[in-house]
Chains A and B, each alone.
Chain A
């Protein structure tokens, strides 16, 4: 073979490798998107622009909830260099161990992306830290919006606004790790309206993850849309006053404007200042609150479930009148054989029975409703009777969620036939088994909101609006659902004897709720005493005022304080007076309440 032919072999090898390179280039640059995507991951970054969260105003346009800035100290491991860790720990206020642990954790997460080193640094502390931060490359502050409660009231009602947990992140991809979300109360129900719409900005970063320029001159960027401000139905002054009166007591206050269903005040006691759960001290404070034996985080106004007691006699009266089981003139003798009674009376009409809270009277009334004689079997008859009774009761909102906008409510219990079947077995019970519900005892459970709503129904003489806290979302007004009245199924005329009796309870000498009297205001109310063996009874009072054209309906629970008229009634009176006249005529009455302490055993 001629050696000069070897040039072709050599040239062939060279061209072959050239072609391999071109093929490889074609794969990397044209055929595969994989490497383009990798380059984009490295060089492009989406920066989320957080909208400002909607503010919350009370019904008088008083600012209740504002925003304030708080800082998270972040670290990007790749950008750090040697630094005086002792001085750094002192500056930031963490221990050396903590620093090492956090930086290790950050490195494990990503060398190029930022991790939180210390959360929730208050602006005043952050100002001090940021002055020194230039000495520590790789560390920077990230601003976060948290809530600032202007009046420090309504913690349960307004709800918690806190960092998202993994469950939140999974449920809604709006959120990113470290974002905040409304966890409870109004913050949670109106989260979507309050949060607004995030904006985004696409930028190019350098190898150290420093932002260099916007991508494609910002063509892909979107602006953030602020959240809507909320106006809520709460009267901040009344709320604050109710919270003040309930200090050192266990219980709740719910006040509703009957003509609209707007919740004027909603208090659960013991409460706490919502500002305690904001900022650097949140973790510590949350621990204290959540381990307190009096359960300050628990919202008694919505989640407390109590037997309604004597107050339930109002509902029994109304249903019995509507369905012609009695008339206002019906008299029933106070036969204390089956069921006890108290006070001197023997043969009351309806009004008298309400005023005296006559147990045998209502035992008999309910017997008429449950045992209608439709069936010969007493068991079958009671089943039928209880089923229709249950339907009537539920129209008053008991055993339902009232279609309120407040979350986390417990609906209570209004027994129906299958409920008793579950306890006693089918056809193994009759009215004689279950009669204690006739006077609001037994298996009946209602919550304080439902009780206040009952006051609103009676104040309106027959209907209610779903009790709600939203007055307006932005400028849109309130949702239609809250502007539609719901009838309780009892005609207006039947309310007259009941309302009159409720007024007499307060006005008449010897009435059970004399302490609820207010000079110049016609208050209607009814005491309740919920047995709480072996502890003292819960004191309950349900009322509205004034009698004509009522402005406020209210329920007050004071746990383990005894008879309803002694504590719950005067608290109601103070709140009614405050709301209607904006003043307190008898400071001694107020002082008596403020001095009282009922914190359980």
Chain B
């Protein structure tokens, strides 16, 4: 590494990505200060407090960032396979010697310090996928190659499923975006995504009870089937309105086929779980979705929505939201931190946060697109996908429009592993982007 190169880094660094990330981290820290506030620990540098500890993590991430920015991009490519394998080993190890937290065996405890290998699995899988696709080059069209790429995702996802940690597994599904960009069929994207979403929704709705007009309380699966049919109907109308007549017949057929497929698939998943599986097996699936380990899910969501609703246009102000201040939302400094943003900063503040996230993701996609190396591009898309899946699941959950699946909100949720994982993702991307002119010609 030469002085010349490090000079290039500062000049070529995408400062806007850096600035957006920094803004998110700053907002996140302020939110943690408020959400985890205790009158005993008010000083900013009180390292017994959550906000103090998070400050240490931010410092560590800054150092990691500095190191990564000064690491040759070539290193990441070489490092891809090794790191992927190392993290896979850790994912296996954690199942054996990891400590159980909240029903899932996903943490290594080393003294008072604990680390979650699945947070790093996202990064290493992103690198591995980028390496693999870049290596195959134009051969990515071949079915065998695609299956191999799928296997790269499925192996770590499978081990994470065993912890179990449904949220992170879903994040892995986001990699399909990156593969789609590299040529994966759009139908496969839709079908794959559809199957995952249908499975989750079928399991969750099958386990819940709705009150229907006329029919009273029944399994939620019917609600899901009704909603699917309505969506298909809307699609059908959309097809009629926006497509040329000659394509209509074909499109209608597709919509109908998709509907029948989706209904049949959902019903089969539901039937399989409710009627074929034995109770203890079913229990395991529920645990996978955090439904058993968290019986207060409805309570959490209800209070989270109340906290957000209480925010109104401009919010109650920093440290002034009673729902946050008096801890009405469980896990409000980790998975449910968005509720305290909603209460204290209101619609304007929450929208700003969502805007920052969108800006970050779109900016990363823009960075990915300007790469000349396929490795960097695939990696960039993988980073964008990971962040997108996180906010999709987390904010969707807190707003009560996605199932309750524990997953951190990037840069906001309290916790070192998560913050470090995202910092590594972003800084590698920044480094790769910074050398886009000089390497991988």
A3→B177 CA distance, assembly (Å)? 12
Whether a CB of chain A sits under 8 angstroms from the CB of B305 is: yes
Quick check: which of A21-29, A154-162, A346-354, A584-592 contacts chain B, the rest being far away?
A: A21-29
A21 to chain B: which residues have CB within 8 Å? 354, 395-396, 399
Considering only CB atoms, which chain B residue lies closest to A4 in the complex?
B369
Please name 17 pairs of A and B residues whose Cβ atoms are closer than 8 Å in the assembled complex, sorted by A: A10-B181, A10-B384, A14-B388, A17-B392, A24-B401, A25-B342, A25-B399, A28-B305, A28-B342, A28-B399, A29-B313, A36-B310, A38-B305, A38-B306, A39-B310, A43-B310, A204-B326
A40→B303 CA distance, assembly (Å)? 11
The answer to whether A35 touches B369 (Cβ under 8 A) is no
A22→B352 CA distance, assembly (Å)? 10
Given contacts A7-B365, A22-B354, A43-B323, A207 and B328 within 8 Å (CB-CB): yes
A78→B308 CA distance, assembly (Å)? 24
Interface bits A253-282 vs B (CB < 8 Å: 1, else 0): 000000000000000000000000000000
A24→B401 CA distance, assembly (Å)? 9
Whether a CB of chain B sits under 8 angstroms from the CB of A376 is: no
The answer to whether B309 touches A42 (Cβ under 8 A) is no
The answer to whether B313 touches A30 (Cβ under 8 A) is yes
B400 to chain A: which residues have CB within 8 Å? 24
Residue from A7, A9, A42 in contact with B323 in the complex, judged by beta carbons closer than 8 Å: A42
The answer to whether B303 touches A29 (Cβ under 8 A) is no
Given contacts A6-B181, A29-B347, A35 and B361 within 8 Å (CB-CB): no
The answer to whether B312 touches A10 (Cβ under 8 A) is no
Given contacts A14-B388, A21-B395, A29 and B312 within 8 Å (CB-CB): yes
Interface bits A190-226 vs B (CB < 8 Å: 1, else 0): 0000000000000011110000100000000000000
Given contacts A4-B369, A17-B392, A39 and B354 within 8 Å (CB-CB): no
A574 to chain B, nearest CB (A): 68
Whether a CB of chain B sits under 8 angstroms from the CB of A32 is: yes
Whether a CB of chain A sits under 8 angstroms from the CB of B149 is: no
A7→B309 CA distance, assembly (Å)? 35
A17 to chain B: which residues have CB within 8 Å? 388, 392
A305→B370 CA distance, assembly (Å)? 106
The answer to whether A14 touches B306 (Cβ under 8 A) is no
Whether a CB of chain A sits under 8 angstroms from the CB of B206 is: no
Whether a CB of chain B sits under 8 angstroms from the CB of A124 is: no
16 further interface pairs, Cβ-Cβ under 8 Å (given A14-B362, A25-B354, A43-B310): A9-B186, A18-B354, A18-B357, A21-B396, A25-B308, A25-B399, A26-B347, A28-B342, A29-B347, A32-B309, A35-B306, A36-B309, A36-B312, A39-B310, A204-B325, A212-B326
Given contacts A28-B399, A38-B306, A43 and B346 within 8 Å (CB-CB): no
Whether a CB of chain A sits under 8 angstroms from the CB of B292 is: no
Considering only CB atoms, which chain A residue lies closest to B387 in the complex?
A14
Interface bits B307-336 vs A (CB < 8 Å: 1, else 0): 111111100000000110111100000000
Number of interface residues, chain B, beta carbon within 8 A: 47
A24→B351 CA distance, assembly (Å)? 10
A20→B302 CA distance, assembly (Å)? 19
Contact residues of B between 330 and 387, Cβ < 8 Å to A: 342-343, 346-347, 350-351, 354-355, 357-358, 361-362, 365, 368-369, 381, 384
Whether a CB of chain B sits under 8 angstroms from the CB of A34 is: yes
A36→B306 CA distance, assembly (Å)? 6
Residue from B328, B395, B399 in contact with A42 in the complex, judged by beta carbons closer than 8 Å: B328
A9→B325 CA distance, assembly (Å)? 41
Given contacts A6-B180, A30-B347, A35 and B305 within 8 Å (CB-CB): yes
A22 to chain B: which residues have CB within 8 Å? 351, 354
Whether a CB of chain B sits under 8 angstroms from the CB of A549 is: no
A44→B322 CA distance, assembly (Å)? 9
Whether a CB of chain A sits under 8 angstroms from the CB of B119 is: no
Whether a CB of chain B sits under 8 angstroms from the CB of A15 is: yes
A206 to chain B: which residues have CB within 8 Å? 326-328
Most B Cβ at <10 Å: residue of A25, A36, A206: A25
Given contacts A28-B305, A35-B305, A10 and B177 within 8 Å (CB-CB): yes
The answer to whether B309 touches A29 (Cβ under 8 A) is yes
Whether a CB of chain A sits under 8 angstroms from the CB of B183 is: yes
Number of interface residues, chain A, beta carbon within 8 A: 35
Whether a CB of chain B sits under 8 angstroms from the CB of A11 is: yes
A14→B365 CA distance, assembly (Å)? 11
A24→B301 CA distance, assembly (Å)? 14
Considering only CB atoms, which chain A residue lies closest to B351 in the complex?
A22
Whether a CB of chain A sits under 8 angstroms from the CB of B182 is: yes
Considering only CB atoms, which chain B residue lies closest to A209 in the complex?
B326
A36→B313 CA distance, assembly (Å)? 12
Considering only CB atoms, which chain A residue lies closest to B183 in the complex?
A3
A44→B400 CA distance, assembly (Å)? 23
The answer to whether A7 touches B181 (Cβ under 8 A) is yes
A9 to chain B: which residues have CB within 8 Å? 186
Considering only CB atoms, which chain B residue lies closest to A33 in the complex?
B309
The answer to whether B358 touches A14 (Cβ under 8 A) is yes
The answer to whether A207 touches B305 (Cβ under 8 A) is no
A6→B183 CA distance, assembly (Å)? 9
B181 to chain A: which residues have CB within 8 Å? 3, 6-7, 10
Given contacts A25-B399, A42-B328, A207-B327, A34 and B347 within 8 Å (CB-CB): no
Considering only CB atoms, which chain A residue lies closest to B399 in the complex?
A24
B107 to chain A, nearest CB (A): 26
Given contacts A3-B182, A39-B310, A25 and B350 within 8 Å (CB-CB): yes
A39→B302 CA distance, assembly (Å)? 10
Considering only CB atoms, which chain A residue lies closest to B177 in the complex?
A10
The answer to whether A15 touches B358 (Cβ under 8 A) is yes
The answer to whether B365 touches A11 (Cβ under 8 A) is yes
Considering only CB atoms, which chain A residue lies closest to B359 in the complex?
A18
The answer to whether B326 touches A205 (Cβ under 8 A) is yes
Q: Which 10 A-B pairs have the closest CB atoms?
A: A35-B309, A206-B326, A39-B310, A43-B322, A39-B306, A38-B306, A29-B347, A18-B358, A28-B309, A24-B399
The answer to whether B388 touches A38 (Cβ under 8 A) is no
Interface bits A281-293 vs B (CB < 8 Å: 1, else 0): 0000000000000
Residue from B186, B302, B399 in contact with A38 in the complex, judged by beta carbons closer than 8 Å: B302
Most B Cβ at <10 Å: residue of A6, A9, A15, A44: A6
Given contacts A39-B307, A204-B322, A25 and B362 within 8 Å (CB-CB): no
B327 to chain A: which residues have CB within 8 Å? 206-207
A15→B361 CA distance, assembly (Å)? 10
Contact residues of B between 266 and 323, Cβ < 8 Å to A: 302-303, 305-313, 322-323
B173 to chain A, nearest CB (A): 14
B303 to chain A: which residues have CB within 8 Å? 42
A20 to chain B, nearest CB (A): 8
The answer to whether A34 touches B309 (Cβ under 8 A) is yes
A287 to chain B, nearest CB (A): 43
Contact residues of B between 14 and 55, Cβ < 8 Å to A: none
B325 to chain A: which residues have CB within 8 Å? 204, 212
Considering only CB atoms, which chain B residue lies closest to A6 in the complex?
B181
A524 to chain B, nearest CB (A): 75
Interface bits B154-177 vs A (CB < 8 Å: 1, else 0): 000000000000000000000001
B377 to chain A, nearest CB (A): 9
Considering only CB atoms, which chain A residue lies closest to B311 in the complex?
A29
The answer to whether A14 touches B361 (Cβ under 8 A) is yes
The answer to whether A29 touches B350 (Cβ under 8 A) is yes
B323 to chain A: which residues have CB within 8 Å? 39, 42-43
Contact residues of A between 41 and 98, Cβ < 8 Å to B: 42-44
A183→B400 CA distance, assembly (Å)? 50
The answer to whether B362 touches A11 (Cβ under 8 A) is yes
B365 to chain A: which residues have CB within 8 Å? 7, 10-11, 14
A47 to chain B, nearest CB (A): 16
The answer to whether A7 touches B347 (Cβ under 8 A) is no
Given contacts A11-B365, A18-B357, A205-B326, A35 and B310 within 8 Å (CB-CB): yes
B268 to chain A, nearest CB (A): 27
B48 to chain A, nearest CB (A): 21
Most A Cβ at <10 Å: residue of B305, B309, B310, B328: B309
A15→B362 CA distance, assembly (Å)? 9
The answer to whether B308 touches A35 (Cβ under 8 A) is yes
